[in-house]
Structure 1
Amino acid sequence: MRGGANNQFLNAVGAATAHEVTRGAGALVGVIDSGIDSRHREFNGWVPTFAVCSSRGAVVSSRTVDYTGHGTAVTSIVAGRHIGVAPECDLAVAAVTGVPGGGDLESFLVAMEWLRGLARGDGRTGADVILASLWFDLDGNDADANERLGAILTSGGLLVAAAGNGGPVTWPAAFSGAVAVGPLDGNSIASNASRGHVGGRERPDLWAPGVAVSAAFGYRGYLPMTGSSFAAPFVAGAAALVMAANPKAQLGFKSLDSHQRPLRHGVGRERRLYIDADSLRSTSTSSGA
């Protein structure tokens, strides 16, 4: 499978048309996953801001690594040069899953703190959008985790999280301040989608392509990927396009849940991701971006 196979999905979510307005330049997307293999043609050797995160802290490195391959796959859907929703966005990657001594809740929170604390060349601080295609079983004991995550996001930043693959919606997607994303199989909700009332509302918040999505694999190949992990990057990339068009945009669930915003959904209970290029163009013009 070649990367071009994603054209149908980029068209389905409106990204192809949105690229006439912006391709994401100026927006900073953070990815918390297993790392990234920047040798892949989707990244052309481009080395993003990178850190290995564990409970001991964030160790920044000029050399990237992907501990499982999952991170390279999801990042290619967000920011890949050929298949990405926001191919020109700035990127910061925190390796958490698969990291020796990492992969736990504390490591995730360390990664969140690192991404939201990043100094940017334009004077701003922190990633505009953070993608978390991972989850934790908190066994209902999520009050402390919610409090800590809420404190990290107080200063801004949109957290986009995979809702899970079967069973209840997982954390951090279950966090009330996150945008939980579920997978679509064509025009239908995927059979393995997690759903439920959590965080004060019905989740997932948005649905995006999540079955047989072409994603980077290894350092040169592609594989069809299925699951909420591969739906969430479409939403993260779409949010990056909105931020690129209007750096002053304040994104959150409420702003995504409106037909009058650049990210809108179809009629009905299933909120399907669609990037409204006309609204995006209007936003860009009014902001002077």
Structure 2
Amino acid sequence: MSTAPAQAEFSTSPLPADEQRPCEARTDAKDDISSETWTNSFIGLDEAHQYNRGRYEDGTPVTIAVIDSGVQADQGAFAEGQVEDGFDYWDPSSKGQCDAFYHGTGVAAIAAGQADGEQFVGVAPEAKIMPLRAFEGDEGADDAKALMVAQMITEAVNNGADVINVSIALPDTEELKSAVESAVAADVVIVAASGNGNLNMDDTSLAPEDAKFYPANYPEVIAVGGHNKDGNFYEATNFGGNLDLLAPGQDVTFPYAGGGYFTDRGTSFAAPFVAGAAALLKAQYGEDASPAWIEKRLESTAIHPPDGFNVYQGHGVLNISLAMTAPLLEGEAASDDEVAPIDTSLEEPVVPEEQDSIAAVDIDYDPLAFEKLVAWASVGLAIVLVTLVLVLKKIIPKGRKRGWRPGTRRPDNVPVKVAADARAEG
């Protein structure tokens, strides 16, 4: 449990007055949800909630900082007062409680939204949300944006966040790296989306403008990729040696900033499932639960691929049920930096088909297979067209020498159909 000031105090300055503008909340409500989301049953949330819903033993709620496009505090997905005063670079008076986009509200609701009948509930619905608005919409992620996020990570730590969710992929900067290291040293868990470029985060040949994998690609951060309803790798996920887990990232339904529900895809929406899970573990095991232990706990209780780990699936699919229910081994403490492997064969079935492992990614999997197929098809088509041109180049002149013209036929050369009786006589 982080020590927080009685009231949020932010030392970061907002943007200059001439760059500030009001946050205009969305008014384009979507349809209501009509059926239960597939995501919560897949990750075993009902069983996890029998143990904890986001509060420490003394009743204090865990705080999840959401660095994003703001959180629409009056959206029905949040309880009154659940969304705390936060920070907004563009509209300081909104205190981060306005979302002119939709992204941050969806992320926060997945992590900690309230129950809506049987259809929807966030992973840690009794947690508090600290909204830190560092994005207006889907603007680019450059060094300036990385500095904003770094500042917000520091502010989150100083104001008592226990878990920080960053659903954006940024360039690697010294400020961002330093902020992450300081947060983890303060026992704050950082969860980040790996990004949706279908790129190898270990590829050092990428141009700087393409290598936007941070903070997810820092080893101290829990890096999250996406999976679909079958637990299979979401093909847009950035992958690599630092990828830790997969969580629902395709066809994810969540509360929309303007009201109603929206369905989207992307690792942005996979990360808050893991951030919520980290909050539940923090609450269940107390303030001594270290970021390293929580990361290892989530990895060791995941539904593993057959090889245990690979760069596309990390340690496997998030399994909150087992993370919350598996007993600690003798001598193990939540403050440890390492966690002994857990026997997942003892796991209660919490996913479709009672699977205790997920299918491996084909060893010959090529993340650029579709692009290469298109490229080779284009080459093949070009070869066919060139060949056709060359053939016609030879045929047409010869035909013209013989008196051929397109669309013409000499009347005296028209074949005459022979009557059947004439053929018989012949």
TM-score interval (norm. to shorter)? 0.7 to 0.9
Q: 1:2 to 1:18 in 2, by over 3 A?
A: farther
Verify: 1:206 aligned to 2:245, yes or no. yes
Verify: 1:194 aligned to 2:211, yes or no. no
Structure-2 residue corresponding to 1:111: 152
CA shift for structure 1 position 152? 3.5
As a proportion of its length, which structure holds more strand?
Answer: 1
Q: Structure 1, residues 137-160: CA drift from partner, whole Å, max 9, x if none?
A: 34xxx3453134312432110000
> How many Å separate the matches in 2 of 1:228 and 1:163?
6
> How many Å separate the matches in 2 of 1:171 and 1:155?
20
SS, match of residue 85 in structure 2: strand
Structure-1 residue corresponding to 2:193: 162
> How many Å separate the matches in 1 of 2:181 and 2:93?
24
> How many Å separate the matches in 2 of 1:76 and 1:275?
17
Structure-1 residue corresponding to 2:176: 145
Q: Structure 1, residues 52-99: CA drift from partner, whole Å, max 9, x if none?
A: 344x9x957567211321100111101110221111112211111118
Q: Contact (CA 8 Å) 1:15, 1:238: kept in 2 or not?
A: no
Structure-2 residue corresponding to 1:121: none
Q: Contact (CA 8 Å) 1:245, 1:281: kept in 2 or not?
A: no
> How many Å separate the matches in 1 of 2:146 and 2:323?
40
Structure-2 residue corresponding to 1:177: 220
Instruction: Describe how 1:31-46 pairs up with structure 2 within 5 A.
Output: 31-46=66-81
Give 1:272's match in structure 2, choosing from 290, 311, 317: 317
> How many Å separate the matches in 2 of 1:115 and 1:241?
18
> How many Å separate the matches in 1 of 2:103 and 2:299?
34
SS, match of residue 181 in structure 1: strand
- More relative contact order in 1 or in 2 (CA 8 Å, sep 6+)? 1
Please say which structure displays the higher CA radius of gyration.
2
Q: Structure 1, residues 91-145: CA drift from partner, whole Å, max 9, x if none?
A: 2111111189x97122112211111011xxxxxxx2111100012134xxx3453
Verify: 1:222 aligned to 2:256, yes or no. no
> What is the TM-score when the length of structure 2 is the normalising length?
0.56
Structure-2 residue corresponding to 1:27: 62
Q: 1:171 to 1:16 in 2, by over 3 A?
A: same
The worse-fitting range, judged by mean Cα deviation, of 143-152 and 267-276 is 143-152
Letter in 1 for 2:52: T
The worse-fitting range, judged by mean Cα deviation, of 245-254 and 34-43 is 245-254
Identity rate, percent:
26
Structure-1 residue corresponding to 2:372: none
Q: Contact (CA 8 Å) 2:88, 2:95: kept in 1 or not?
A: no
Count of aligned pairs between the two proteins? 266
SS, match of residue 76 in structure 2: coil
> What is the TM-score when the length of structure 1 is the normalising length?
0.81
The worse-fitting range, judged by mean Cα deviation, of 165-174 and 81-90 is 165-174
Q: 1:66 to 1:278 in 2, by over 3 A?
A: closer
Structure-2 residue corresponding to 1:67: 100
SS, match of residue 86 in structure 2: strand
Unaligned runs of 5+ in 1: 119-125, 197-201
SS, match of residue 109 in structure 1: helix
Verify: 1:52 aligned to 2:93, yes or no. no
Letter in 1 for 2:193: A
Q: Contact (CA 8 Å) 1:30, 1:129: kept in 2 or not?
A: yes
Structure-2 residue corresponding to 1:123: none
Q: Structure 1, residues 172-224: CA drift from partner, whole Å, max 9, x if none?
A: 1112210000000122001111112xxxxx13211001101111113311111
The worse-fitting range, judged by mean Cα deviation, of 155-164 and 105-114 is 105-114
Letter in 2 for 1:116: V
> How many Å separate the matches in 2 of 1:150 and 1:272?
26
Q: 1:195 to 1:260 in 2, by over 3 A?
A: closer
